[in-house]
Amino acid sequence: MRIGVPKEIKSQESRVGLVPGVVHALTDSGHEVFVQAGAGEGVDVSDQTYASAGARIVADAQAVFDAAELIVKVKEPQPEEIARLKPHHTLFTYLHLAPDPEQTKALMASGATCIAYETITDKAGRLPLLAPMSQVAGRMSVQVGAAALLSPAGGRGLLIGGVPGVQPAKVMILGGGVSGENAAEMAVGVRADVTLYDINPTRLAQLDAQFDGRLRTQFSARDAILAGLREADLVIGAVLVTGAAAPKLVRRQDLATMKKGAVLVDISIDQGGCFETSRPTTHAEPTFVVDGVVHYCVANMPGAAPITSTYALGAATAPYVMKLADMGMDSAFAADPGFAAGLNVKGGKLTCRPVAESLGMLDQLAA
C-alpha cells in the first residue's frame, strides 16, 4: 500500500502522523511511505531520519496526496487538505465531526473514506486511540488551569496547591474517564482540593479506592454541579460521549454564581465543549473571559507537547495502520469490529450514527 504523511497545518500543530519506527515497520513489510519534507520538524525528527527508515521524502502536501492511497494524519483535515482528497483516498486521523457540520459535508463531498481515531473501540469498549491524547490533555489541564489562576493571566490570584496556613484552590473535574482521571492525578499531586463528578457510581467507587481518600467523588446531578460551581476556583470539563457532541454541563447563567477570576478548562472542546460559553481557541490566544470567568478552550491541547504526544499517539495507532496496510480496510474491519467503529464517512455517506444524530443528518446515514 502507498501511505502518505503530510505536514500538519492546523494553527500551532507540530505533531506528525507516523514516527520513524512505524515507517520502518511499514517499509520492511513492502509498503511505500511518502513523507512531506519537514513533517517531523516539530518533534525533532529530520527528513534524513525518515529517509533512513525507508520513507520517500516529497516536496509538498500535494505530492503526498497524489502519491498515497492511505493518508495518516493527527488533526482533522483543514479545508485545503479536504480539497486534495479524492474518492480513492482513505483518511485516518482525528475527525471530531459531531460539532463540525462544514467539515463533515466537505468530507462527504470528497468521496473519500474517512476513519476517525476517536470512535475506534477495543474489546473492552474503551477508546484506545483517544486514550493517549486524553492522558496528555488531562494532565495538561491542571498545568494550564493553574497558570490561568494567576493574576497576570486574569485569574483569581491563587496558587493551586496553596501553602502552609493558606487553603489550596478548589478544583472540580467533570467526568471520570481517561482525561478526568489524569487531571485528578495531577491536581491531587499538587495538593489542590479536588472533587470529581461522574454519572457512573461504579466508576466513582473505582476512583475513590484508587485515590485512597485524597479525591472526593460526587454523583454528577445538576444540583450538585451548581453547588460545586459556587465554591470552585478551577473547573475542568472532561466529558465524553463517544462520537457525539459533548453535553453542556455548565450553562451561561451558571457563570454568575461563580467567583470572579475562576477558570474553566474545556478538554471536551474538540467535541463541541461541555460549557455553554466555550468556543475553540488556539495556543496563541488560549483564553477569553465571559462574565468574569476565564475560559481555556484550546482545541488541540496536546499539540503544545508535540514530542510527548506524537510518540504516545504513534504507539497506539501503529497496529491499526499496519492492519490497514497489510490487510486492506475491508478485511481489517471484518477481523476487528471495534476498528470498524472508526469508519465515519464512506461513499459520500455518514457511517457513524452518533455523528449523524448530533448533526441532524440521519437522512445521510448509510443503510
Cell, residue 276: 455553554
Give the active site residue among 96, 193, 254, 295. 96
At 235, is the secondary structure helix, strand, or coil? strand
At 71, is the secondary structure helix, strand, or coil? strand
The Cα–Cα gap between 107 and 105 comes to 5
Cell, residue 46: 529530520
Q: What are phi and psi of 288, to 5 degrees?
A: -150, 165
Query: What residue type is assigned to position 256 of the chain?
Result: A
Alpha helices in the chain (DSSP H): 20-28, 47-52, 61-67, 79-82, 101-110, 131-148, 178-189, 201-211, 222-231, 306-327, 329-335, 337-340, 353-359
DSSP 151: G
The Cα–Cα gap between 31 and 223 comes to 56
Packing angle of the helix pair 131-148, 306-327 (nearest 10 deg): 160
44 tagged catalytic: no
DSSP 352: -
The Cα–Cα gap between 280 and 163 comes to 34
Cell, residue 362: 440521519
Give the active site residue among 31, 270, 295, 336. 270
Angle 278-280-286 (CA atoms, 0-180°, nearest 5)?
Answer: 95
Angle 53-55-58 (CA atoms, 0-180°, nearest 5)?
Answer: 145
Dihedral sign computed on CA atoms, order 266, 216, 312, 128: negative
The Cα–Cα gap between 180 and 206 comes to 13
283 tagged catalytic: no
Q: Which residues are the active-site residues?
A: 96, 270
